[in-house]
């Protein structure tokens, strides 16, 4: 795709964000001219807005970014965490009309417009975040098509609550596939822009990696809304990765004779994802299991625990988590609205390993006798810090110990 002339772009027209409690925020329109509804949440990341846009865990949600200036580095192929954006709509303070970065292939505005995602900007995002922190996440409708505010409030109130929604089936892959790409060297990034995501430098680096490092572990990854950097890091850690749809039967997974099973992140309420809980119970004890985010919550349910909805969720790349095994504090990337109740887990079988230092909620656990562990946050760090990448080493060590 050829970069458009960013200096000729303009954001014209008005936009409105209407919340179910009747509060309306008015601003300027960008992105697509339409209206979209969902649960309104805020993300505190300072960088990595394209990774946020393309995280499938945001399906069904309107995202407000607290960092005030968004869009200045444009959009590119390498920073996508899935083939398209999954946010319902975007709320920002200032939305740049200019993409100023050597990796950009188009502006953020053109990127979101292409995927029919509306944007409201030039609003007081601080006021919106304070409101959500006080009353909790709310259903809302964002309109750039001129719809009357009162009608938008009524539409917001008619939306389904996030609690009770099973969204993993909505975002999962249609069929299984192999993933072979590792992390992309920064030097290869520019070449990817003109080659559909696989430039000559990337291909050379990938060929070298394949020649030097033959995969040692066969991993089956359940796709509940998986991010591509998770898959890249699994490849970096010597894994031959096959991604399967969310509802794939445990028997089919075990028939592939994996060394380990990975349970991905994903959107929605974990409790309605009963098919996944049933499959996890059949896999437990057979091969090592590593779960993150929704995968962590599903592990909790499979172990007999319960989950609950957080007031406004954890969304950002700056959340402090204490590792109770090492006594170290990790700065983590998070994106979830539900949590595992640690008191509901059988203490005879499960050990809590990580604790959120903001609200003391559960951030990690491991089984005391079975090869199974999970964390609530995103160790792949897209976007975010790399403090938790040791968990991928932990997974490969667990697979090495339990190899037949």
Residues recognised as catalytic:
293, 378, 380
Three-state DSSP class for residue 359: coil
CA 230 to chain centre: 10
User: Where is 317: in which H helix or E strand?
Assistant: strand 306-323
Bridge-partner residues for 243, per DSSP? Answer: 177, 221
Bridge-partner residues for 291, per DSSP? Answer: 263, 374
Distance CA 125, CA 144 (A): 17
- DSSP for residue 242: E
Task: Decide if 147 contacts 22 (C-beta within 8 A).
Answer: no
Count the Cβ atoms, other than its own, within 10 Å of residue 164.
11
Enter the tokens of residue 278: 């049933």
Distance CA 94, CA 32 (A): 17
CA 24 to chain centre: 28
Task: Decide if 364 contacts 352 (C-beta within 8 A).
Answer: yes
Distance CA 111, CA 31 (A): 8
User: In Å, what is the CA distance from 358 to each residue of 73, 113, 313?
Assistant: 31, 36, 12
Distance CA 380, CA 183 (A): 11
User: In Å, what is the CA distance from 348 to each residue of 344, 368, 375?
Assistant: 12, 8, 19
DSSP states along 79-105: T-SSSS---SEEE-SEE-S----TT-S
Distance CA 118, CA 386 (A): 31
Count the Cβ atoms, other than its own, within 10 Å of residue 358.
11
Look-up of token digits 């005030």: 68
């Amino acid at each position: 795709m050829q970069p458009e002339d960013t200096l000729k772009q303009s954001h014209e027209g008005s936009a409105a964000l209407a919340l179910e409690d009747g509060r309306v925020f008015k601003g300027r329109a960008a992105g697509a001219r339409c209206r979209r509804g969902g649960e309104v949440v805020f993300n505190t990341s300072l960088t990595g807005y394209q990774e946020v846009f393309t995280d499938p865990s945001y399906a069904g949600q309107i995202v407000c970014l607290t960092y005030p200036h968004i869009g200045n580095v444009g959009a590119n192929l390498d920073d996508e965490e899935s083939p398209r954006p999954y946010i319902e709509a975007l709320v920002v303070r200032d939305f740049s009309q200019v993409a100023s970065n050597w990796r950009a292939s188009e502006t953020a505005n053109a990127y979101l417009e292409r995927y029919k995602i509306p944007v409201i900007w030039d609003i007081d995002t601080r006021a919106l975040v304070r409101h959500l922190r006080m009353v909790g996440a709310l259903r809302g409708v964002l309109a750039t098509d001129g719809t009357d505010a009162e009608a938008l409030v009524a539409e917001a109130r008619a939306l389904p609550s996030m609690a009770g929604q099973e969204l993993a089936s909505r975002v999962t892959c249609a069929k299984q596939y192999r993933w072979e790409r590792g992390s992309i060297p920064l030097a290869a990034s520019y070449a990817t822009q003109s080659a559909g995501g696989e430039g000559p430098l990337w291909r050379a680096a990938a060929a070298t990696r394949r020649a030097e490092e033959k995969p040692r572990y066969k991993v089956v990854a359940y796709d509940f809304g998986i991010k591509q950097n998770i898959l890249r890091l699994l490849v970096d850690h010597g894994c031959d990765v096959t991604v399967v749809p969310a509802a794939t039967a445990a028997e089919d997974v075990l028939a592939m004779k994996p060394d380990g099973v990975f349970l991905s992140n994903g959107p929605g309420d974990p409790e309605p994802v009963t098919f996944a809980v049933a499959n996890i119970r059949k896999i437990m004890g057979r091969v090592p299991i590593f779960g993150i985010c929704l995968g962590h919550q599903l592990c909790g349910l499979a172990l007999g625990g319960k989950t609950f909805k957080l007031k406004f969720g954890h969304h950002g790349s700056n959340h402090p988590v204490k590792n109770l095994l090492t006594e170290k504090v990790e700065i983590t990337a998070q994106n979830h609205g539900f949590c595992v109740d640690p008191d509901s887990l059988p203490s005879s079988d499960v050990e809590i390993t990580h604790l959120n230092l903001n609200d003391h909620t559960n951030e990690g656990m491991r089984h005391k006798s079975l090869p199974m562990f999970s964390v609530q946050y995103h160790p792949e760090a897209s976007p975010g810090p790399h403090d938790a990448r040791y968990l991928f080493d932990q997974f490969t060590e667990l697979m090495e110990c339990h190899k037949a």
